[in-house]
Structure 1
Amino acid sequence: MEVGKTRGVKGPEFGRTEAVAGQARKSGKAIPDSGDAVTLSGGAQDIARLAAAANILPDVRSEKVAALQDAIGSGTYQVQGAQVAEKLLREVIVDTTV
């Protein structure tokens, strides 16, 4: 697909940023901050803290892995097909709804 003839598509603010930046470079003065600020709600701050805490947790539960390896190695690991199928279906449903 070829896009051409963009004349008239640009709004009245087109190029304004470049012009202001060019003036700032010529004058050697920095462009003042607009003063915008963001304040997170208490809930958002809680979520950020929880996410940070979750990021430091290990991805693999070593104790669980070791126990399963031992059970498989000794031949005592038993798998119920119905439970495996149920968990697979739940994962598929969750993945498709999220």
Structure 2
Amino acid sequence: MSIEPATGIISILAAPTLAVAQLAELPSTVDPQLIVGAFVLANSGLPLSVIFGQVPVTWVETSNLNEKEALKATLIGLILRFATTWALAVFLTPFLVN
């Protein structure tokens, strides 16, 4: 997926800001594509508490969607976020590294 595993997990499970802080500590031997992917993912603000908690509750209250539809829309957004992260990491990295 072109995301550095440790910072990707921290972005999803804990806090994206913590993951960005840890990117600076990565050794220079790590593939730049993984670092770009982790940076994009962390800056997209992706903790699962938002995906499964805040977004569906907010959408149900402010729209005519029920909880199942709101969760489905949230999961589609999650898939699109990972696809965008992968695409940016793969296609943007050569421009940033050279």
Given the two structures, how large is their TM-score scaled by the length of structure 2?
Answer: 0.23
Q: Which has the higher helix share?
A: 2
Higher relative contact order (CA 8 A, sep 6+): 2
Given the two structures, how large is their TM-score scaled by the length of structure 1?
Answer: 0.23
